[in-house]
Amino acid sequence: MKKKTLYMIGNSHIDPVWFWDWDEGMQEVKATFASALDRMREFPEVKFTSTSAAFFEWIETVAPDMFAEIRERVKEGRWELTGGWFIEPDCILPCGEAFVRQGLYGQRYFQKKFGVSCRTASNVDSFGHNSMLPQILQKSGMQEYVFMRPRLDTPVFVWESADGSRVNAISLPSEYTTWFYEPTKEAAEMAQAAMDRALLPSMVCCYGVGNHGGGPTKENILAVQRLREEKPELSLPFGTYREFFDSLSEEEKKRLPVRRDYFDRINTGCYSMDGRLKRTNRRIEGRLLTADSMLAMEHLFLGTEAEQKEKDIMRSLWKTLLFCQFHDTLGGTAIKPARDEAVSQLSGAGAEAKKLWVLSMQHMMAQMDTEGEGFPLLLFNPTGQDHDGPVATELNWFCKDGLILRDPDGREIPYQRVHTTAKARNYNIGGRRGIVFDAHVPALGFAVYRTLIGESELCSDGRRTSEEAESGFEPEAAVLENGYLRVAFNEKGYLCSLYDKQSGYEALNGPVTFPVWKDERDTWGGDQGREFGPTGEELRPVSLRLVEEGSMRKVVRAVFRLGGSVLKQEYILYHDAKQVEVVNHLFWDREWQMLKAEFPLTVQKAVAFREGAYETVRTETMDGQEYSMHRFVDITEMGSRNAQKRSCGEGFLVANDGKYAFSMEGSRLCIPIARSAIYAQGNGKNWYNPLEGYEYTDMGKQEFIFLLRPHGAALSAHERFRLAEAAAKPLLFTTDCRHAGKRRLVRWQGIHIPEDNVELGCVKAAEDGREWILRLFETEGKRTAGTILLNGKELRYEIGAYEILTLSVSEDGTCRKVNLLEQ
């Protein structure tokens, strides 16, 4: 009888950041790789498996001789490169483009430095895995995937994305880390049991010291050799993931179960852990996408090619973001000094991105002829969809002069004066002018408005002044209303009604409250038998004030307090909007507690549509536990119309600019807005010692934005993504002086995508050559043939249902389909 085989995978999952900062992580990588090479010299049959292009970049820089030896081991087939990504990130929370860049930079690095592409992806320790990964992996040159969380009853299976892309996957049946003989034996027995359950002739079993590095030790290797004697029924070669997958016959691969899972809800506390870090991540993702777009806009407008220096800078900035999306960093489970360093690195990348797009704006403006009456006010739109709606901006304007505003066609347009950010009052010299107006700005383009000195009959002054203290409830603040939406507060100051006037649908079934929960869970969300539940306390309203009211918008400020914690909310309803914007300023001072925004909804049988990585995830079963989201969650009624006139499609969407968690508790949508857990605190006996002293996340100030959209009919995916973009406020503004130029344009459009079910993921310069890369993704499950206008040139394309499509566009306007590696 042929022996069954356990491929013993020598590895070391390395956390470059966790209970240490990245500089210590660099040292642990160097020490681990040195140890692995030593073991290979001592034991000629031993092999080693590793991930993360970032680690090899470090070694190439600080230990070039070691790097050269690793290259030789790769050629010999004894050092297996897996992963194919820059780092092992959180696989739930980053945006779709971040996952694409992981493979783009990781795989191209391995190709360039080692002459190989990774076929097997590996994220053994990440806290869940999004359902778009099979497509992203396959289009990045990978056919297999290895992970450990969650541990499934189908250890080897086919994982399929919604578009039909498939990878063969392993859910490791045992830990990736074994220190001594007994853990190595236990891991082998777990792998053997999983192999028998799956009716497979082979399985993988990892051994080696990990997390803080180490790799296969002599004791590990001797343990494997001892197990060969103790388990004669098994073959236990030192092997690789590649050897395991190649050992499966085509017939065995055909029999593998197929799964289409979104593997989230693992370490769910990480979705709400450290709100400021999460919002910084979201903001920097947006800034890097904006910089890519603005560089593309500049060169398309000027007819020039991207400079290699710009490409190199953008690649470096993206790598900084990707490194800070490591699962223990973005998940919020690292120590505070490492977390603070990540915030610094992310902020630096965001600042450098802004430098690039400001220069792009200036380069375009230098070629424009801006002479004429008044002064140019330029609005740039870095997104793939036209902006049609309100714009709020500030101008430097002499305090005693009136202001007239004209659109690009020279027509005077109405605007509303609003309060400025600067709080100095100028009555004789200088001055700032805050204004709100409606604007049309083409996609990936710009529009030139003009400001003139003079008194405008179309201006309304929405500013209010008051000498009263911030307390009490003003009746005129109780209702905000336009032709589409009615927003109402009750006599106590709670938001109690969000009424869709077009359909006659009321989204709320009671007041929106801010309950406080006792949250003694650990960093990851493990309860350890400690308290997690309502305290019976909540932030209570202390004032409701009308702040602004004019022709363009009305603003109401609600203030809530509990002890020293204060939440100030500005509800902004624009005259032609179907959603209300809520700008939140929170000061939180409650240790080991969670603050929630709780929306009691009228939906009964609901489904959640939540944004994931280049996808919308549909979730039908919600049990009060926390789920992940990106920029929106849409709770929608799925029942048919009944006696209470409940209608399929009725619901309530919340878009946001930095939150990642929600739960449905009955018909109440709950969004954690502060979670004061202890940094890097995990399970363990008698871990709590007050003499040590502890630091808690989310203490102090934070800001975030909600867009609240009740809807009496189902929203399209297109509408959801538009609201997500609106929450991020992507428009860029600048003023210019009057000057001559080569091009007299008042508006310019870089891209037009007519199909509502197709979104622009990114536009960027190609890594090689002079082409431009367009990344599109389909949102409604419809195969589509369409035409894009890029700088006036028609590009025909076909995109599959839920496909991520990458097009390489040449200077003459021809385009070809490429993979995510731009190959």
Across 276-384, the runs of DSSP E, i.e. the strands, are 375-381
CA distance 335 to 20: 7
**Per-residue pLDDT tens over the stretch 144-155:** 999 999 999 999
pLDDT at res. 672 = 98
**Residue 642 reports pLDDT greater than 70:** no
Phi, then psi, of 75 in degrees rounded to 5: -60, -35
Distance CA 140, CA 143 (A): 9
Secondary structure of residue 186 in the 3-state scheme: helix
The answer to whether residue 499 scores a pLDDT higher than 70 is: yes
Quote the pLDDT of residue 467: 56
pLDDT at 644 over 60: no
C-alpha span between 316 and 295 (Å, rounded): 15
Confidence of residue 552 (pLDDT cuts 50, 70, 90): very high
pLDDT digits (tens, 9 = 90+) for 349-371: 999 999 999 999 999 999 999 99
Provide the pLDDT for residue 426: 73
Going by pLDDT thresholds of 50, 70 and 90, the confidence category of residue 1 is low
What would the pLDDT profile of 289-305 be if each residue is shown by its tens digit?
A: 999 999 999 999 999 99
Given this model, what pLDDT does residue 687 score? 85
**pLDDT at res. 641:** 45
- How many Å apart are CA 705 and CA 726, to the nearest integer? 10
Q: Residues of the chain with pLDDT > 90: what percent?
A: 92
Q: 422-435 burial, b for 16+ CB within 10 Å, e for fewer?
A: eeeeeeeeebbbbb
To which residue do tokens 């004789």 refer? Answer: 428
CA distance 500 to 293: 35
Mean pLDDT of 366-389: 97
Averaged pLDDT of the chain: 95
User: Is the pLDDT confidence value at 688 over 50?
Assistant: yes
For the chain, the C-alpha Rg in angstroms (whole number) is: 28
pLDDT score at 468: 55
Residue 621 has pLDDT above 90, yes or no: no
Tokens describing residue 468: 């009263």
**Within a 10 A sphere around the Cβ of 75, how many other Cβ atoms?**
12
pLDDT digits (tens, 9 = 90+) for 513-536: 999 999 999 999 997 767 899 999
Residue 409 phi, psi (nearest 5): -90, 5
pLDDT digit string, tens, across residues 387-444: 999 999 999 999 889 999 999 999 999 999 999 998 887 777 778 999 999 999 999 9
Q: 0.75 exceeded by the pTM? A: yes
Closest CA to 47 of 224, 238, 245, 178: 238
Residue 113 confidence (pLDDT):
98
pLDDT at 151: 94
pLDDT tens readout for residues 40-93: 999 999 999 999 999 999 999 999 999 999 999 999 999 999 999 999 999 999
pLDDT at res. 529: 67
- Average the pLDDT over 312-322 and give the result: 98
pLDDT of residue 686: 82
pLDDT at 156: 98
